[in-house]
């Protein structure tokens, strides 16, 4: 029977028909339902209606949905939808997983083989690496939140329940953790998480995974006691038994890796989950490949150094045959429509071509021609009369042509051809324009920030409570 207000056959939001209960816990209920339009089974996690009046419970549920929905990897349960029931109870729709969590596996089988345990730990590392790469700290890693699917092919481990996850580095919001309230499972919590849940980082998940690995191999938790208080006291002050004291056949490197995960000071643990994966890689045949997948999430960002190929760097030729990259070509076309582009490279001075003279220049040439003709006529008359030309006229010669009427130099010629104003320079020696006088336009494509390489996964995962998952 479906508890509370949910009944078999009930349809949520017009598309999810409830079939049965998969599990029920203090905070939520997990239902098996069918998507009517897709004819696909899904798991629906609903906040227990008894907690609707508790703002912290509603916030925690929403936090889990937001965190899980951001993750797209193979080793995190996939969230498909988020909504609320007609009664106002929020729910999230997740992929339906068939299998059991590692808590049930331990209860049924006891300690696992070293290679199997390490393989599961490495799969958990990949799920955590993805979360950490997005600034999400799980804060509740334990066997009940590591679900082992039993589909065709190899078994895949899925990370569940981001209900008390923390998104770093955002500061703690008021009410996120009530005074004196410890969120999580004390036996798997790091010393710093016991002191201040809001002040933890990714290394608290490394501690918790170390506890899980210790338990998978030895069959016992490293810190035990008759009450949660005594367990927390041991975590804060005591050292656990070495792993090989309980499992003599465990490899020494595994014992050392677990011991480093359980260092009291987080500075003494592995700096990130990828380092832990590298330490475990040699302990299982698939370890190296799994560790490489984990490392992809934590690899530093690389900025691509874009090198301009020689043909793109080459300046435009005079005939305009050089091809620009398409983006630069479009931009060049836009600019050319606005105003003429300066030449990319100064061209050799062109030979002046015959051209119509300006009105002023035509008048000056006409006046000079008249004066020269008059002078020649006078000289001819005097010569015919047998007199020499006046000394002053011979010494003066024809009047000089003004500078404005001189042939323009190469730069002035180009400017005049574009209809630009050419200033009249004072009399002086002719100035030759060097190649440095012309501006050179250089197109600089900006470097594109590189993307983080990520493994190519199919669609990813969501989350559910340990006790709220299907048992088989």
Active site residues: 140
Which distant-in-sequence residues (6+ apart) come within 8 Å of 17 by Cβ?
Answer: 9, 10, 11, 33, 34, 36
353 exposure class (CB count in 10 Å sphere: 0-12, 13-18, 19+)? exposed
Give CA separation, 226 vs 104, 211, 221, 230, 231, in Å.
22, 18, 13, 7, 8
The count of other CB atoms within 10 Å of the CB of residue 423 is 6
Q: CA 293, CA 81: separation in Å to the nearest integer?
A: 28
359 exposure class (CB count in 10 Å sphere: 0-12, 13-18, 19+)? exposed
Angle, CA of 147, 151 and 153, to the nearest 5°: 115
Residue of 119, 81, 452, 100 whose CA lies nearest to 295: 452
Decide: 465 and 22 in contact? Cβ < 8 Å.
no
Q: CA 276, CA 270: separation in Å to the nearest integer?
A: 6
Q: Which tokens go with 167?
A: 């998104």
Residue of 430, 408, 405 whose CA lies nearest to 418: 408
DSSP class of residue 435 equals G
Which distant-in-sequence residues (6+ apart) come within 8 Å of 310 by Cβ?
Answer: none
- Using only the alpha carbons of the chain, give its radius of gyration: 42
Which distant-in-sequence residues (6+ apart) come within 8 Å of 144 by Cβ?
Answer: 101, 102, 103, 185, 466, 467
Q: CA 230, CA 287: separation in Å to the nearest integer?
A: 36
Decide: 22 and 468 in contact? Cβ < 8 Å.
yes
């Amino acid at each position: 029977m479906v508890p509370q207000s949910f009944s078999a056959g009930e349809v949520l939001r017009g598309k999810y028909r409830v079939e049965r209960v998969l599990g029920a816990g203090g905070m939520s209920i997990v239902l098996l339902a069918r998507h009517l339009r897709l004819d696909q089974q899904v798991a629906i996690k609903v906040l227990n209606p008894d907690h609707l009046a508790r703002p912290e419970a509603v916030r925690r549920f929403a936090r889990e949905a937001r965190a899980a929905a951001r993750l797209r990897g193979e080793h995190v349960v996939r969230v498909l939808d988020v909504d609320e029931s007609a009664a106002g109870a929020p729910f999230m729709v997740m992929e339906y997983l068939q299998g059991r969590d590692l808590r049930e596996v331990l209860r049924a089988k006891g300690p696992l083989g070293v290679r199997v345990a390490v393989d599961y730990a490495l799969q958990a590392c990949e799920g955590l690496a993805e979360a950490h790469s997005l600034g999400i700290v799980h804060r509740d890693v334990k066997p009940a939140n590591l679900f082992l699917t039993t589909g065709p092919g190899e078994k895949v481990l899925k990370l569940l329940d981001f209900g008390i996850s923390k998104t770093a580095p955002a500061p703690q919001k008021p009410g996120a953790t009530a005074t004196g309230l410890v969120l999580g499972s004390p036996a798997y919590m790091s010393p710093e998480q016991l002191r201040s849940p809001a002040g933890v980082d990714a290394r608290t998940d490394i501690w918790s995974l170390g506890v899980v690995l210790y338990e998978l191999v030895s069959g016992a938790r490293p810190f035990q006691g008759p009450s949660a208080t005594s367990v927390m006291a041991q975590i804060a002050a005591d050292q656990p038994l070495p792993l090989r004291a309980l499992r003599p056949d465990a490899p020494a490197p595994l014992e050392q890796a677990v011991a480093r995960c359980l260092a009291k000071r987080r500075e003494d643990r592995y700096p990130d989950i990828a380092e832990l994966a590298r330490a475990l890689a040699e302990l299982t045949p698939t370890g190296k490949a799994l560790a490489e997948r984990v490392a992809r999430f934590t690899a530093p960002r690389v900025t691509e150094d874009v090198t301009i190929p020689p043909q793109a760097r080459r300046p435009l030729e005079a005939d305009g045959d050089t091809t620009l990259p398409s983006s630069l070509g479009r931009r060049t076309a836009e600019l050319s429509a606005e105003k003429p582009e300066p030449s990319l490279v100064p061209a050799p001075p062109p030979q002046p071509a015959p051209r119509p003279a300006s009105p002023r220049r035509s008048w000056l040439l006409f006046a000079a021609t008249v004066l020269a003709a008059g002078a020649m006529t006078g000289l001819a008359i005097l010569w015919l009369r047998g007199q020499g030309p006046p000394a002053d006229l011979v010494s003066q010669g024809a009047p000089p042509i003004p500078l404005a009427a001189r042939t323009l130099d190469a730069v002035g010629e180009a400017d005049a051809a574009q209809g630009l104003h050419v200033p009249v320079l004072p009399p002086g020696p002719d100035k030759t324009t060097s190649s440095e006088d012309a501006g050179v336009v250089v197109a600089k494509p900006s470097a594109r920030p590189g993307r983080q390489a990520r493994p190519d996964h199919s669609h990813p995962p969501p989350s559910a409570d340990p006790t709220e998952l299907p048992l088989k």
